[in-house]
Chains A and B, each alone.
Chain A
Amino acid sequence: MSLSDFRWSRVSLWLLLSAFCGFCWMAAHVQKSSQFQARQLLSLDEFKSLLLERVFVIDARPQAFYDQGHIPGAMTLPLNSFDPVQLVGKIHPDDTIIVYCSDIACHDSHKLAERLSRSGYAHILIFSGGLEEWSSAGLPVMRNTP
C-alpha cells in the first residue's frame, strides 16, 4: 500500500474529530475543577504551614505515579484502589488529612476527599495545586526507585 492509496481525507477527519472532542473534554473538566473552589482548598503557603502541625498527607494518584515522585511524607492511597480499612490504626477520624493529586485540573483528590468524608473522617483538606505546584516551587520531591 503506497501513500497515494491512503484516504487522507479520512485521516484528517479523525485528527479534527479528536481535536474537537479533546477540546470539549478539556473545557468540561476545567469548568468542573473551577466548581471545586468552594471547598476547603489550600494554597501552597497554607499547605506548607499546615505541614508543621500534625497532619496526614495523602497522595490520591495511582501507585505508579506516587513512586515516580511525591511530596515527602505523603502516604499513597490511590483513588482507584481506595479502601478505608487501609487507614484503620494509622489515622484517627479526628486527625487532619490533606489530600492532593497531580495538579489543579486533577479530580482524584476531590473524589478521595469525598470518600474519606463518607468513611467518617471529619477534617479533610485539599491541596489543589498538587504535586505540580509543589515541584514548581522548587520543593523537594521524593521518588521510590526500584
Chain B
Amino acid sequence: MRQVPPLLLALAWLLAGFSKLYQWPDFVFAIKSFDLVPPAWAPFMAASIPFLEILLGIELCFQKHRREAAGVSMGLLAVFTAILVLALLQGKNLSCGCFGGWLDFGGLHGSIARNFVLIALGVFIIKFPHPCAK
C-alpha cells in the first residue's frame, strides 16, 4: 500500500516530463505567457524542467532516494502552484502546459487542485517512508 503514492507521483512526473518534451515549443510559449521570467530564458527553462520531472519520476520508483525526490517534488509543486495562483489572481486565462496539451482539465483551477493532490502524495511519502528506506 505504501508503494502506491510514490508510484502515482512518479507516474505524474514522468507523464508531465515526457509530454512537455514532446510538445516543447508549446511549453516554451506557456512559460512566456506567464510573463515571470525573461523571454530569453523560457526555452532553457522549458527544456530543463521536463528533465528534472523525469529524473524525479525515476527516483520515486526506487526507495533509495525517494524521500529526497518527494521533498524536491513538493518544492517544485509549491512553486508551480504559486505561479498558477498568481496568474489566477491576475485574471489570466492560461493553460499551464503542465502535461503538454495532453491532459488539460479544469484550467488553472483544475491544475491547482491537481498540484495539491500531488503535494499530499509527497507529504505521505515523507511521513510514511517505506521501512527499508528508514
Contact = CB atoms under 8 A, between A and B. Distances in A.
Nearest to B17: A18
Interface residues of A, number: 37
Interface string B9-34: 00000000000010111101110110
B55 A105 contact: no
> Which of B48, B95, B100 has the most C-beta atoms of chain A within 10 angstroms of its own C-beta?
B48
A81 to B, nearest CB: 10
Contact of B26 (A23, A61, A143): A61
Contacts of A17: 51, 55
A68 B101 CA distance: 12
Contacts, number: 103
A65 B49 contact: no
Interface string A11-29: 1001101110111011001
A105 B26 contact: no
B71 interface: yes
Contact of A1 (B44, B59, B67, B102): B67
Contacts of B45: 22
Nearest to A105: B25
Given A105-B28, A131-B29, A19 B101 contact: no
Nearest to A21: B51
Given A25-B51, A68-B95, A11 B72 contact: yes
Contact of A68 (B24, B44, B93): B93
Given A102-B26, A102-B29, A65 B48 contact: no
Interface string A23-60: 10110011000000000000000000000000000000
Nearest to B125: A1
Contacts of B129: 1
Q: Which 10 A-B residue pairings sit nearest by Cβ, starting from the closest?
A: A62-B101, A22-B48, A106-B25, A22-B47, A18-B52, A102-B29, A21-B51, A18-B51, A25-B47, A64-B104
Interface of A: 1, 5-7, 10-11, 14-15, 17-19, 21-23, 25-26, 29-30, 61-65, 68, 78, 80, 101-103, 105-108, 131-132, 143, 145
Given A17-B55, A68-B95, 8 more contacts: A22-B50, A26-B44, A62-B100, A64-B95, A65-B95, A68-B33, A80-B23, A105-B24
8 contacts: A5-B67, A14-B55, A18-B55, A22-B49, A65-B95, A65-B101, A68-B94, A107-B25
